[in-house]
């Protein structure tokens, strides 16, 4: 007889003690000391699925307002960014003909910001900085068609969002239809007193971003309690 121990399961009770009113047999047990099997790791997606290794490697230089130029492999830029793909495959672009991108006239493009962009292209990682720094990185990530970097910055900024910086962030996010912009509006709609505590910034927005300023003024009027 192939004895697997089943006859010991009911040795102290009759079988009817385990059958419910519907005629179903219910057995509860615990299995112990089974060997642990490590689940296989999920395969990682390649960062450069469109990288053409048959192309000869060429460097693209980024000339900055301050400091020496930065150099980066054109093939990696094209594999990760539609913006650079179009730029570096057409002679209509000055950058393609000269092999350099000239940022010398833009002091906002710092070495730190460009290195952050290039590190992301290599590693798909982003190190969070100050609100001002993150907004600048996002601006260029959007310009360079680096959608995943934009999403990472937005996620980080959403965690940093507060009453003290919501207007500053909204000023840069207005019109992007992003999750971050929506979070800014949600915070302001839930507490319009934030507008009153940031009147100086509102004056700046009226001068520099009048469309956004009008929306904020209308929001404040709607949420203002009616006087009896």
Q: How is residue 42 written in tokens?
A: 């999920």
Residue 145's region, left for phi above 0, alpha for psi from -120 to 50, else beta, is left
Tell whether pTM > 0.85. Answer: no
126 to 83, 122, 143: CA distances (angstroms) = 20, 11, 17
Mean pLDDT by 10 residues, the chain (228 residues): 55 63 72 73 74 85 95 94 94 93 94 96 92 95 95 95 92 93 93 84 86 87 59
């Amino acid at each position: 007889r192939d004895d697997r121990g089943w006859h010991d399961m009911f040795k102290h009770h009759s079988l009817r003690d385990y059958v419910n009113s519907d005629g179903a047999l219910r057995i509860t047990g615990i299995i112990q000391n089974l060997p642990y099997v490590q689940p296989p790791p999920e395969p990682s997606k390649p960062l450069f699925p469109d990288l053409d290794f048959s192309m000869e490697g060429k460097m693209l230089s980024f000339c900055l307002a301050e400091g020496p130029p930065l150099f980066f492999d054109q093939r990696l830029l094209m594999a990760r960014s539609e913006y650079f793909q179009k730029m570096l495959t057409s002679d209509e672009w000055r950058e393609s003909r000269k092999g350099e991108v000239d940022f010398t006239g833009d002091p906002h493009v710092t070495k730190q910001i460009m290195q952050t962009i290039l590190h992301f292209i290599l590693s798909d990682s982003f190190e969070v900085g100050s609100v001002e720094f993150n907004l600048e990185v996002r601006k260029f990530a959007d310009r360079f068609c680096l959608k995943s970097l934009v999403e990472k910055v937005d996620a980080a900024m959403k965690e940093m969002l507060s009453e003290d910086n919501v207007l500053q962030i909204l000023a840069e996010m207005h019109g992007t239809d992003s999750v971050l912009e929506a979070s800014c509006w949600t915070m302001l709609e839930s507490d319009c007193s934030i507008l009153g505590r940031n009147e100086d910034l509102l004056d700046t927005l009226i001068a520099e971003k009048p469309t956004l300023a009008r929306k904020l003024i209308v929001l404040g009027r709607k949420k203002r309690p009616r006087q009896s």
